[in-house]
Each structure stands twice: as C-alpha cells, then as structure tokens.
C-alpha cells in the first residue's frame, strides 16, 4: 500500500492495518528503520582524545534522533486518538498552546503531512521549535493515556518535529493574514513570546515591527539552550513564515533608554514586552576573574556562535536548574572526563526536570548535593574550587528548606573549568522606565486573560512574567497578549 502525501509518497507497505490498542504490533521494528542515523558515536562509547570536529559533532547531536518516514508511520499508528466533542484528550489539555495532538497524529498516519503541519501551526507559530525544546515528558507525553497504563507514551514531540520540519522546507504559508486594519503595534524582543505575539497580530491585519538588541532571532532559544537540543534550525524558517505574514524586524536595535521607549510608544498603539530575563545572576566568589570560570549563558552562547573553548578534563558546574544540566552535558560531550554538578540542597529540591537529571546521569555527569562553593583558586587559570558542606534548615521564601553552612567543613576540588549556572537577573532597570507598571518581586504583573499590564498601553509575556519557564508557555503568552491587544486597540478605535 502506498499512501500519497504532499510533496511525495510515504511507503506504508509494511503497515498492513492500524494495530490494536495494546500497541505491541511493532515492538520488533529495528531502530535504524524508525530513527535517522546519529551523527556519530555516543560520547560515553568514544575513547581517547577527540578532534575539534568530533567535539563539535557531539555537541550538536540530537538527544532524540528524528523519525524516518517509516518511523513516523509506525509511531503515529500507536495513538489511540483520545478525546471527543465533550472532553479533550489529556495530551491536548497538557499542551499550553492547545495543539490538536490526536488530529495531527492521525493526519500523519493517513500520510497527510501538510494537514498535520496545518493543525500544529494553527495553534503554535513556533511549532517546529517547540517540537525540539518542549519538556514533553512533563507535558503532552506525560499525559498520554499509554503512559498512564504503564506503557511507552506516543512520541508526540518527534511526530510534531517530523511534520513541521518537512513542511517548512516547502515554504508553505500555513495561515493567511487578514487585510490590513491600519493599526500599528511594536514588539520588544524577538524571543518566543515576541515572535508568537507578532505573528498572531499580523494574522489579524496589524502592522507589526519587532525590535531586538541581538542580530539573530529567537532570544534565549538561540543563545542559551544547549545546541544538542536546538541550534538555529528551524527558527530561520519559522521567522521567514512570520515575514511572509507581514511582520517586520529591526534586529540589532536595542531599546536601551527611556527616550527610545517613549519614541516607540508614541509611534504605536500598543507595545508588547517580550524582554525575557537578563544576564546570569551576579553572585561573586573570590577568584571569579580567573580564566576558566564561566557564566552559564556566556558559555552556551560561545559554543553556539563562536568557538569551542578549552575546558580540560575536570569541570565543576554550580547550580541545580535545567541550564546547569545543559552545560554539564555539553562539557561531557566536549571531552571532559569528570563533570560534576554541585548543588547546595538535595536532589528533591533541584529545579531541573527529573528526566533531564536522568539525561545528565546517562551522559556520565555526577551530582554532589549539600555542597556550596566558597572560592576559586589558581594562578592565571582556575585550578581548585574550595567548597563547604551544607545542611537543610527551615524553609525560605521559595518554600524549600534553606541551606545552612556546616562550619569547619571546607575542602578543595581540583578543577580545570567552573561554570556558574545559578539563574538570571530580572530586567528591573528597563521596567522602571514604564510608569505605573506593577511588579511582583521584579517580575511583570499582568491580567492573565489578556496579557495586559497595569499600564494599559503595555502587554507582556514570557520569562519577564514567570522568572523563566518553558518556550511553549512563552508562545502561549504571546498568543494571549495578541488577542488582548486586538481587544484593547479595537476598543480604543470604536
């Protein structure tokens, strides 16, 4: 049986009928049939020194390999197509952007790849990017009925990637914009929230311009998410899709003064703030200035845009969030033999997702808990990290037990590189330029149904609201704000 799909044919002769709900029919399919070949051998199976080319290849090798045509057919056949007119499927409910997941998977199964992509981009203009960076283990796949029954969930993220990347290559316009409505809106920030908001507004007929201080699109998706999760692609294709909708971009154009912000306000009918967070939190340690001591965001940015730094064989990572996991895995893939994450609380208090902690361990990363750095030592380059043991005390403002120093427990660890991944600064300086803007501990307060701030002219979304969440949540924030801006501007002009 050959099933026609847009842009070609999908050979499904091996797939006689859709399997019974137990999903066991295809367990014996060999992996090379289902997944594209890896770039090179897994780092833990590679002995000896690696060339720069090998190190680079490992850094950019996907954690999860893309599906082949047969892999997509097999995987889509496992979906039970839950949900109905009176109750959404659990996976849809778990998706912040509300993608019709059973619908797009069913379209893939029928060979209608263009229809699958249509359903995805209808709800998420960055659906291809999200397919690579979403924590599906705690969202759609974590809610899959098969998972609840103790079986492997449908690989929703890989199926979404399969459909979106295939169709983006064909440069199809998935959604048609409305005629111009004569209204102008400015968006500050070309990260996921800003891109989503701009695209949704363009679809409603708005004249939208996006401003960003960087030269490239994507915000922290581009500059601060590990390259083995995402490098540049598919962002350029998604941005081109937004340009085709009429969105204009002023890249390398910082809005870095009160005067520039006022000018933007005067030329627009509303402004969306997708400004994200700032640089790494500035927690200073004696010895910070030594070579080999890195801030996490600068480390990732250097890898993704510049060069591979020399890190030696022993790397210490300070922190317990997802960025700490990212840089630790990067260090392993760059050839460091001993990579350890040092966290001042215990594993149960780590902000990182459990599945990402498991990923780090599978890559050979060690974790040491109840340990806090005191200072870094060395001549010109860091050679030792002096630490102190901690114990848990009473809960702090976050609700987690406060780490308390254990006196007289200092010890030194030989290191070649230290990477600090302790969090990001809030953009309070920029936000102070906006009159009557209410903040909550440095984060923007909004009406969650519209994205509107206490200054009615400004709307906001993304990390500047929540202190750092997921890309897909930022996309949804942008959608909500676009609808809120449309209601606000429409009400002002009526």
Question: For residue range 8-21, what is the model confidence (pLDDT) as tens digits?
Answer: 334 443 333 344 33
Domain count, the chain: 3
What percentage of the chain exceeds 70 in pLDDT? 87
Same domain, 358 and 273: no
- Among residues 420, 454, 470, the one where a domain terminates is 420
pLDDT value at position 170? 82
Same domain, 408 and 297: yes
Same domain, 31 and 110: yes
Residue 492: which pLDDT band, with cuts at 50, 70 and 90?
low
Same domain, 141 and 6: yes
Residue 218: which pLDDT band, with cuts at 50, 70 and 90?
very high
Same domain, 201 and 319: no
Would 176 be classed as within a structural domain? no
Same domain, 60 and 153: yes
The domain that holds 231 is classified in CATH as: 3.50.50.60
pLDDT value at position 13? 39
Same domain, 336 and 401: yes
pLDDT value at position 5? 34
pTM of structure = 0.87
Same domain, 269 and 297: no
Would 174 be classed as within a structural domain? no
Same domain, 345 and 485: no
pLDDT digits (tens, 9 = 90+) for 156-172: 999 999 999 999 988 76
Same domain, 157 and 253: no
Same domain, 454 and 357: no
- Among residues 420, 447, 472, the one where a domain terminates is 420
pLDDT value at position 61? 81
Helix axes 52-59, 322-333, angle to 10 degrees: 150
Mean pLDDT for the stretch of residues 202-229: 92
Domain residues for the domain of 188 are: 184-278+425-493
pLDDT digits (tens, 9 = 90+) for 100-153: 999 999 999 999 999 999 999 999 999 999 999 999 999 999 999 998 888 999
**Residue 18 or 297, more confident:** 297
Which of 232, 10, 242 is closest to 126 using CA atoms? Answer: 242
Would 179 be classed as within a structural domain? no
Would 20 be classed as within a structural domain? yes
Same domain, 76 and 125: yes
pLDDT value at position 380? 94
Would 22 be classed as within a structural domain? yes
- Among residues 168, 201, 230, the one where a domain terminates is 168
Would 48 be classed as within a structural domain? no
Mean pLDDT for the stretch of residues 234-253: 95
CA distance 62 to 60: 6
CA distance 158 to 347: 29
3-state secondary structure string across the chain: CEEEECCEEEECCCCCCCCCCCCCCCCCCCHHHHECCCCCCCHHHCCCCCCHHHHHHHHCCCCCCCECHHHHHHHHHCCCCCCCCCCCCHHHHHCCCCCCHHHHHHHHHCCCHHHHHHHHHHHCCCHHHHHHHCCHHHCHHHHCHHHHCCCCCCCHHHHHHHHHHHHHCCCCCCCCCCCCCCCEEEEECCCHHHHHHHHHHHHCCCEEEEEECCCCCCCHHHHCCCCCCCCCCCHHHHHHHHHHHCCEEEECCCCCCHHHHHHHHHCCCCEEECCCCCCECCCCCCCCCCECEEEHHHHHHHHHHCCCCCCCCEEEEECCCHHHHHHHHHHHHCCCCEEEEEECCCHHHCCCCHHHHHHHHHCCCEEEECEEEEEEEECCEEEEEEEEEEEEEEECCCCCEEEEECCCCCEEEECCEEEECCCECCCHHHHCCCCCCCEECCEECEECCCCEECCCCEEECCHHHHCCCCHHHHHHHHHHHHHHHHHHHHHHHC
CA distance 239 to 190: 10
Residue 64: which pLDDT band, with cuts at 50, 70 and 90?
confident
pLDDT digits (tens, 9 = 90+) for 299-318: 999 988 877 889 999 999 99
């Amino acid at each position: 049986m050959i099933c026609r799909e847009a842009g070609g044919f999908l050979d499904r002769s091996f797939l006689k009928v859709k399997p019974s709900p137990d999903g066991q029919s295809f367990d014996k399919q060999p992996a090379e049939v289902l997944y594209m070949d890896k770039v090179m051998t897994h780092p833990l199976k590679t002995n000896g020194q690696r060339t720069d080319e090998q190190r680079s290849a490992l850094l950019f090798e996907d954690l999860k390999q893309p599906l082949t045509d047969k892999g997509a057919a097999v995987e889509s056949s496992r979906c039970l197509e839950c949900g109905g007119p009176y109750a959404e499927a659990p996976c849809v409910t778990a998706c912040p952007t509300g993608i019709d997941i059973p619908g797009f998977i069913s379209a893939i199964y029928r060979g209608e790849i263009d229809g699958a992509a249509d359903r995805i981009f209808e709800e998420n203009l960055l659906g291809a990017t999200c397919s690579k960076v979403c924590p599906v283990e705690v969202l759609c796949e974590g809610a899959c009925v098969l998972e609840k029954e103790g079986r492997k969930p449908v690989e929703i993220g890989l199926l979404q990637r399969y459909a979106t990347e295939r169709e983006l290559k064909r440069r199809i316009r998935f959604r048609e914009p409305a005629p111009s409505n004569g209204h102008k809106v400015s968006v500050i920030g070309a990260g996921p929230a800003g891109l989503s908001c701009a695209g949704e507004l363009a679809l409603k007929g708005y004249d939208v311009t996006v401003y960003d201080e960087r030269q490239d699109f994507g915000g922290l998706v581009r500059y601060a998410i590990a390259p083995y999760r995402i490098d540049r692609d598919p962002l350029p294709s998604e941005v081109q899709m937004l340009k085709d909708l009429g969105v204009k971009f002023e890249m390398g154009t910082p809005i870095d003064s009160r005067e520039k912000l006022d000018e933007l306000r005067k030329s627009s009918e509303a402004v969306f703030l997708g400004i994200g967070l700032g640089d790494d939190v500035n927690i200073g340690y004696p010895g910070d200035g030594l070579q080999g001591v890195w801030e996490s965001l600068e480390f990732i940015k250097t890898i993704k845009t510049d060069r591979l730094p020399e890190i030696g064989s022993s790397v210490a990572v300070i922190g317990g969030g997802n960025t700490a996991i990212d840089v630790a895995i990067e260090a392993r893939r760059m050839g460091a033999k001993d990579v350890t994450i040092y966290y001042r609380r215990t594993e149960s208090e780590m902000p990182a997702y459990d599945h990402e902690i498991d990923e780090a361990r599978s890559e050979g990363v060690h974790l040491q808990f109840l340990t806090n750095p005191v200072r870094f030592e060395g001549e010109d380059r860091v050679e030792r990290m002096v630490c102190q043991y901690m114990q848990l005390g009473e809960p702090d403002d976050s609700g987690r037990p406060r780490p308390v120093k254990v006196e007289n427990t200092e010890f030194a660890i030989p290191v070649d590189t230290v990477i600090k991944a302790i969090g990001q600064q809030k953009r309070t300086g920029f936000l102070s330029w906006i009159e009557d803007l209410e903040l909550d501990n440095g984060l923007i307060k909004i009406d969650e149904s519209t994205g509107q701030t206490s200054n009615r002219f400004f709307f906001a979304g993304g990390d500047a609201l929540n202190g750092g969440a997921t890309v897909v949540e930022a996309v949804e924030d942008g959608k909500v704000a676009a609808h809120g801006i449309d209601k606000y501007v429409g009400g002002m002009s009526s």
